[in-house]
């Protein structure tokens, strides 16, 4: 059996390397955009347009519909 780098394997490695290098730079931006979209400006109430309600309103948590994960906007997006 011959082992070598196939074009598919090379492309996969290239895509993974690109994703790893750009992930850190964009994480903050994506997080802020996600929270601006999901929360009111004062971070006091969830304004998602669907049936989801805040899981813990006192902790300012809402469901991030992109990932279906509960997030805390204050902890994840702001200082």
In degrees and rounded to multiples of 5, residue 62 shows phi and psi of: -145, 165
Close Cβ partners of 73 (under 8 Å, ≥ 6 residues apart): 35, 38, 39, 43, 60, 61, 62
- From the list 68, 64, 65, the residue with the least C-alpha distance to 77 is 64
What is the predicted pLDDT for the residue at 51? 44
pLDDT of residue 27: 47
SS3 3: coil
Domain range list for the chain: 7-77
Quick: pLDDT tens for 5-61: 566 655 566 555 544 444 444 444 444 445 555 544 444 444 444 344 545 445 556
- pLDDT for 44: 41
- pLDDT(62) > 60: yes
Which pLDDT belongs to residue 60? 59
pLDDT over 60 at 63, yes or no = yes
Q: Residue 10: its pLDDT value, please?
A: 55
């Amino acid at each position: 059996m011959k082992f070598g780098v196939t074009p598919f394997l090379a492309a996969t490695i290239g895509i993974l390397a690109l994703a790893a290098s750009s992930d850190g730079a964009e994480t903050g931006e994506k997080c802020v955009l996600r929270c601006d979209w999901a929360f009111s400006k004062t971070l006091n109430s969830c304004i998602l347009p669907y049936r989801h309600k805040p899981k813990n309103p006192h902790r300012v948590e809402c469901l991030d519909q992109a990932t279906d994960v509960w997030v805390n906007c204050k902890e994840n997006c702001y200082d």
